[in-house]
């Protein structure tokens, strides 16, 4: 059994196959290879800057790491499980290529601060990519909202018809949610943008290093202020997963609506073959599988958050091998969310709303009852609770007659409230209802057009 010669002096006998399998992380942390090389280049430059490495040694390290990056990118690198992780695989190959200078690279650092730095760099890059996707999805929603600023539809509470809204207003609600998701990721990025490198194993180092130099070289705002915190904390990963889980939940809510709205019972919109599948036995089926999978994959993202919270909850400072389990969930959550964002943006651009079906549904379920109550308050000066009572009686009357409120004869309405006049019919259409909701943030088409255009300008 091969041993890891980097620390094998303490353990003359190699690890058992089981120990090697549970201890090795190269199967997944190789995803950090770009960040590991980037961190090593910055560390080598700093060591040369303070005189710990000669310029010749730093140049050899730089060339060696560049060659290794090419090997990995081209699929020519031979990964070794015996070397456990990405850090030792690269370091061993560097020493193999350039000799003694490669052994000097690890001066004044530990795998503990190295992996913390690598993961921060990876998460920072993932946030930047997700932010671009969020902006794209928000643009898609804002474009469709502008297109459907006057398309009426039912607004729901408890999934029961409540009041008419416009489809544009509904879509803009998700733009607002996604905007907050962008803010959460931006906050996470700002807080994680501190450099652990130089904290070494846990206590710092006696070498005269320049941590500000390293932090600047890697694009961090500053070095982390406490070496124990630098190697022993993963709250940046937890915060990233939390933001990802909230964002995925927003996508899942939209996906659920797509699933409901594309069903024949609703028929509010249609997706093309690009985002649906058929059935192996039922030829009439058009299944909204893209939406269903977005809805389902939220479980993976939320599960990654719970998994890392569970890993971290009982760890004493500073580093524990438990923290090796921080990566797979982060990687999977980021990649899963990226796929869900792409699928959702695709569905938003692909969906074809049925305006007639939406309008018909918007008037169902006595959805203008609140407009009637408001009219009674505004025109007849009834207290709202009395107006609510009168409207409830009129709804019951219409229900008993099997008609809508707008179809009740004026005489019937006056049997409940004698002062009602013919002007009441002007507020009982869905178009009048949505047009009247002009308060800031309301569903009036003029509001929706302004807000959609505002978002399109901000996202341009």
Q: Which residues are catalytic?
A: 158, 279
- Residues 430/362, Cβ–Cβ less than 8 Å: yes
CA distances, 328 to each of 115, 117, 398 (Å): 13, 16, 59
The full length of the chain comes to 460
SS3 38: helix
SS3 30: helix
> DSSP characters for 276-306?
-B--SS-TT--B-HHHHHHHHHHHHHHHHHH
Dihedral sign for Cα atoms in the order 312, 314, 320, 325: negative
- Residues 365/161, Cβ–Cβ less than 8 Å: yes
Torsion angle (degrees, nearest 10) of CA 169, 173, 179, 185: -160
How far is residue 260's CA from residue 250's CA, in Å, rounded to a whole number? Answer: 16
How far is residue 395's CA from residue 400's CA, in Å, rounded to a whole number? Answer: 9
> DSSP characters for 121-150?
HHHHHHHHHHHHHHHHHHHHHHHHHHHTTT
How far is residue 263's CA from residue 283's CA, in Å, rounded to a whole number? Answer: 16
- Residues 452/142, Cβ–Cβ less than 8 Å: yes
CA distances, 18 to each of 22, 80, 82, 148, 158 (Å): 6, 16, 12, 60, 53
How far is residue 338's CA from residue 32's CA, in Å, rounded to a whole number? Answer: 18
Q: What is the largest CA-CA distance in the chain?
A: 100
Question: Tokens for 417?
Answer: 């409230």
- Residues 195/222, Cβ–Cβ less than 8 Å: yes
Single out the residue of 125, 239, 250 nearest to residue 184, CA to CA: 239
How far is residue 229's CA from residue 240's CA, in Å, rounded to a whole number? Answer: 18
Residue whose token pair is 């004493």: 316
How far is residue 192's CA from residue 38's CA, in Å, rounded to a whole number? Answer: 17
Cα–chain-centroid distance for residue 334?
A: 8
């Amino acid at each position: 059994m091969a041993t890891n010669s980097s620390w094998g002096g303490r353990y003359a006998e190699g690890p058992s196959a089981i120990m090697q399998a549970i201890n090795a992380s190269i199967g997944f942390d190789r995803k950090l290879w770009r960040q590991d090389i980037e961190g090593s280049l910055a560390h080598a430059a700093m060591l040369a800057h303070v005189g710990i490495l000669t310029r010749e040694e730093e140049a050899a390290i730089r060339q060696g790491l560049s060659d290794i990056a090419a090997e990995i990118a081209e699929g020519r690198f031979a990964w070794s499980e015996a070397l456990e992780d990405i850090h030792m695989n690269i370091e061993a190959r560097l020493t193999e290529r350039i000799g003694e200078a490669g052994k000097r690279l690890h001066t004044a650092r530990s795998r503990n601060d190295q992996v913390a730095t690598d993961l921060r760099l990876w998460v920072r890059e993932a946030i930047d990519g997700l932010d671009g996707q969020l902006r794209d999805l928000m643009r898609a929603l804002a474009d469709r909202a502008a297109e459907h600023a006057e398309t009426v539809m039912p607004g729901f509470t408890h999934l029961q018809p409540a009041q008419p809204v416009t489809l544009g207003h509904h879509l803009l609600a998700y733009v607002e949610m996604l905007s907050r998701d962008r803010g959460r990721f931006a906050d996470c990025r700002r807080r994680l943008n501190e450099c652990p490198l130089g904290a070494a194993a846990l206590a710092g180092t006696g070498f005269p290093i320049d941590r500000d130099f390293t932090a600047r070289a890697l694009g961090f705002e500053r070095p982390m202020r406490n070496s124990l915190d630098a190697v022993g904390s993963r709250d940046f990963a937890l915060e990233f997963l939390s933001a990802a889980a909230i964002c995925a939940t927003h996508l899942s809510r939209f996906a659920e609506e797509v699933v409901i709205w594309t069903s024949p019972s609703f028929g509010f919109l249609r997706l093309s073959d690009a985002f649906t599948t058929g059935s192996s036995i039922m030829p009439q089926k058009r299944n909204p599988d893209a939406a269903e999978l977005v809805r389902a994959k939220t479980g993976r993202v939320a599960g990654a958050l719970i998994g890392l919270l569970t890993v971290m909850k009982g760890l004493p400072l500073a580093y524990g091998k438990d923290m090796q389990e921080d990566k797979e969930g982060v990687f999977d959550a980021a990649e899963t969310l990226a796929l869900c964002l792409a699928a959702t943006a695709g569905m938003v651009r692909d969906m074809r709303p049925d305006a007639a079906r939406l309008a018909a549904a918007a008037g169902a379920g006595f959805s203008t009852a609140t407009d009637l109550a408001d009219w009674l308050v505004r025109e007849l000066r009834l207290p709202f609770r009395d107006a609510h009572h009168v409207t409830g009686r009129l709804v019951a009357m219409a229900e008993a007659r099997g008609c809508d409120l707008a179809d009740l004869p004026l005489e019937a309405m006056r049997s409940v409230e004698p002062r009602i006049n013919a002007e009441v019919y002007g507020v009982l259409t869905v178009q009048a209802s949505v047009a009247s909701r002009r308060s800031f943030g309301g569903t009036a088409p003029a509001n929706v057009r302004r807000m959609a255009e505002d978002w399109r300008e901000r996202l341009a």
